[in-house]
Structure 1
Amino acid sequence: MHREKIISLLKEEGIEALFITSPANRRYLTGFTGSSGMVLLTETETYLFTDFRYTEQAMQEAPEVEVVESSHSPWDTIAEKLKHLGLSRVGFEREHVTVEMYDALPKGDGLQWIGTTHLVGRKLRPYKSPEEIAKIKRACALADEAFMHILSLIAPGVTERELALELKWFMEKHGADGTSFETIVASGDRGALPHGVASNKKIRAGELITFDFGALLDGYVSDITRTVAVGQIDQALLTIYDTVLRAQERALAGIRAGVRAREIDHLARSLIEEAGYGERFGHSTGHGLGLEVHEWPVLSGRSEAVLEDGMVVTVEPGIYVPGLGGVRIEDDVLVTQDGYELLTAAPKTLLVVG
């Protein structure tokens, strides 16, 4: 439990407790993996509210917290606990509470609900523990293995969906709990879709295929992107691939603790702009990674974040040309004091398959 940091956060926000409704934050703070539950953090205790279906599971997975079973309305149970504790200023996660949930929050008895923003997501979760890093490394290694496995199955006539299903099957067969997100397999002109999830389109010779996928393993995810050629491709696509690879390697070379996230974005983006493809690179250069596939910090031109030792981020520039196709290359890296540790090791030189 991150008790010292939690106490510091509560004092910074001027609140006595923090009410957690985000499933990812709930798991991070308690270890509970069930699908129903809310958490109350105070300076001295952590309370996990859940129902009968998950009480035993919660006690097993979260032995260091007090599990409170809600017999009827969870809000009545929470109200009773807040009253018992005598709390008056309780923070809630503004970004995770709907209007309906806010209306249901207990009111009265001098209780004030104070909206907070991204406290756990930006003040705690970006800094990975050795245990978290080990889990992410395993998820990355499995994604690498899956990529190498899929190469021999790529051939004209195979559909994008068939390749996506094969990736999923391989990762789950080798220990994954699932995929990090809906697998992207975008071939030919569909490669111009940054998030072109797998379709029934058949692979054709002379195309590029972009694979963007990851493994979910013990709660933590990986996120890797590789683009491969099916047979010989034309010079325009070769030029785009070379540009993206150089931009990605340039951005990676800049990563180390103390560097602003926007500087990494600039390293990749400026090279792509100089090559004449600036308008074809419309997303950020990367993002944090952990329990969720998109975490803080964001490596964008507007980001104020500073990279710090122990953060795990992606580096993924891309170029997308409608009617022609696209290229994206993505690695996961652990930020260190003097650089980075590469967590995804699949080859990035252009592979010709099929």
Structure 2
Amino acid sequence: MTRRIVTLDDTADSLLDRIRAVRAAGDVPLVADSRWPAAQRTAVDDLVRAAEPPAGAAWATLTSGSSGTSRVVVRTEESWARSFAAVSALLDDPSASDAAPVVALPAPASSSLTLFSLAHALAGGPHPALPGDDAGLAAATAFHGTPHALRTLLERGALPRVRTALVGGSHLDQRVRALAESRGVRVVAYYGAAELSFVAADDGTGLRPFLGVEVDVRDGQVWVRSPYAALGYLGDAGPLRTDGPWATVGDLADLRDGTLTLRGRADGAILSASATVVPEEVEAHLRRLPGVRDAVVFGYPAGGVGALVAAVVEPAAGRAPVSAGLLRETAASGMSPSHRPRIWFTGDLPRTAAGKPARAEVVRRALAGEVRRVVG
């Protein structure tokens, strides 16, 4: 029998049962987002029809697409199953009642972090509460999603029983951790990628390698030796590179005394005059500003110098945009001249379905003049 990848719609009733049926037939499930534009769905369907899953493939997931086009990642059964026990231990709440555990999954099932939790549920993990399941959210004892989703649900009071939050996908603002802890929620943030799964986890004391993972930093890039790594991609190659048993997606970091400090993606670095600027480092500084909810930094084309550092700043909910004077003053006081944004924009950041800032769309809007530029 020829194995195939089967695309499922995330709005279908009993999605978990449909995934179970696909796997029972020996095929590989891939969950699509019903909100995709027709062209994107067609592209994914065409890729799936043309591709034969590699030997050992049991799951197919999509990268977030935060920096552009999503890719289809394929992985073995064991690459996720080997981490289930460790994830269960992270989500465990010793004070919980005898009620069956439920995990809130605000990101669509097309995202790799939600599909991981669905795979975990099929293997006996917490029952999933998917987007739109308000009763499930109210009953949830744990959370697995992005920092943006955690903050949004906490501000809405939608997670009354959650006591543990597993947070990944993007930078965790310490203000979000503080908000969660003020509501009695223990937060475990993790660094990973669709291609690598879990790499390191942080309970508030710093990112340390996830159980079973070895981490090395070579020329500033994170390399991992891990039982959780994916097989690769369908179709065109992506950022995943291997060196024997080691793998990387090009993330930049420092490793000191066993603690990993992330610096961003190598392919996102801004070359400005004679300096190389890592956007995530500048963004981390801007997020500490009062009244700033989030920020995205990118290179604004500028002829002979290559690019100018530019920033789109998202105001906190209910707050007026931060003034140009305060932005420049803060940049001057905390960053070297080469890293200070020279061009400023303000407005709501577009996000992926999982809640990450959609970087490619942010840049497109800024360059097209669709975002308010801060002057003065």
TM range (shorter): under 0.3
- Larger relative contact order, structure 1 or 2 (CA cutoff 8 Å, min sep 6): 1
TM-score, normalising length: structure 2? 0.26
Higher helix share: 1
TM-score, normalising length: structure 1? 0.27
Task: Find the structure with the greater CA-based Rg.
Answer: 1
Higher strand share: 2
